[in-house]
Homo-oligomer: A and B are copies of this chain.
Amino acid sequence: MTEKNSKNIFFDGAIIASFIAEQIQKHSTKTNIGAHSIFLGQVRNDLIDDKKVAAIEYTTYKEMALEKMLEIREVIFDKYALTCMHIYHSLGKVNAGEISLFVFASSQHRRAAIDACNDVVERIKNELPVWGKEIFEDETYTWKQNTNG
C-alpha cells in the first residue's frame, strides 16, 4: 500500500470549481498525458412527494470505504492504461447545485481515460459504503436511493 494509494478520498462539504481547476492545472507538467476524463456528480433539487431536495448529507463507513477504494484503484489500474486517477467524494452537507463527486482519470490515449472514469463511477455508486440523506427545504429528510443511470 503506497502513500499515493492510501490517500483519503473524502472531502468535507461540497467540491468547489476552483479545486477542480487546480487539479487540472497540476497535470500540465505531465506531458505524456493526452486525455483527461472527468465525472462530476452534482446534487439535484429533485421533487419527492411534492417536497424539494435542498441538500444531501453524506456519511460513510470510512475505514471500509478507503479499503474498498484501494481495491477499486487496483482493479482499474490493472484494466486500463492510465497515467493517473484522482477521486474525491464529499461528506457532510452538500447543497443542490453543488458538486459531491469528482472522478478524474488521465491517460496517453483517450479510450483508457474515458472507460476507466466510467467504470470507476459505477463502482463508486455500487460498491462504496456511502449514504446520502436527502434533506428537504422544510428540514425533513429521506434516504437517497441510487439508480442505474
Contact = CB atoms under 8 A, between A and B. Distances in A.
A39 B104 CA distance: 10
A64 interface: no
Contacts of A148: 111
Number of copies: 2
B31 A96 contact: yes
Contacts of A60: none
Contacts of A121: 110, 114
B36 A39 contact: yes
Interface of A: 17-18, 20-22, 24-25, 27-45, 96-99, 106, 108-112, 114, 117-118, 121, 147-149
Given A28-B42, A32-B45, A36-B38, 11 more contacts: A17-B21, A20-B21, A27-B97, A28-B97, A32-B44, A34-B42, A35-B39, A37-B40, A42-B106, A114-B118, A118-B118
